[in-house]
Amino acid sequence: MTHQQIKTVIDEINKYLNKQLWMDFEIIEYSKYVLRIIGSLDISAMPNIEITFKDVFFASAVFEWQTDTSQQVLFLIEGSEARELNMKFRVEQGYHLIRFKAEDYPDNFGCIFGVKEILFKKL
């Protein structure tokens, strides 16, 4: 995916999340460089959304987290922060760095993923 395509999907996800009261997320599967995350208002119930990262280079995350949907939840990391993370994790060219803002964690924590593609579907 191009930089702009990634931004478009992230914007779509954020627009959906901003309409929710809150959202809890959970990493449910990682296999063959594909990572699946579900989001729901109640993790014990049926999920509301699924976010899939394809061609995952790395992940730095907790397995479950909550978000404050009154704020932006998902970010494409760019600029000097992206360069710093690229050097730290030795991210190969062509990967995009994506951060979830996790509630009750410092702003610079986030769940960070280095991926080539992101997919989003409402369940």
Q: What is the pLDDT of residues 31-88, one digit of tens each?
A: 999 999 999 998 788 999 999 999 999 999 999 999 999 999 999 999 999 999 988 8
| Alpha carbon 100 to its chain's center | 5
Confidence tier at 15 by pLDDT (50, 70, 90): very high
Mean pLDDT, the chain, integer = 94
- Domain limits for position 12: 3-122
Tell which residue, 21, 70, 32, 50, has the closest CA to residue 118: 50
**Structure token digits, residue 14:** 């954020």
pTM comes to 0.93
Of 122, 121, 123, 113, the C-alpha closest to 35 is 113
Q: Phi/psi of residue 13, each to 5°?
A: -65, -45
Confidence of residue 110 (pLDDT cuts 50, 70, 90): confident
Report the share of the chain in percent with pLDDT over 70: 100
Return the number of other C-beta atoms located less than 10 Å from residue 50's C-beta: 16
Assign 84 to helix, strand or coil: helix
Q: How many domains does the chain have?
A: 1
| pLDDT score of 92 more than 90 | no
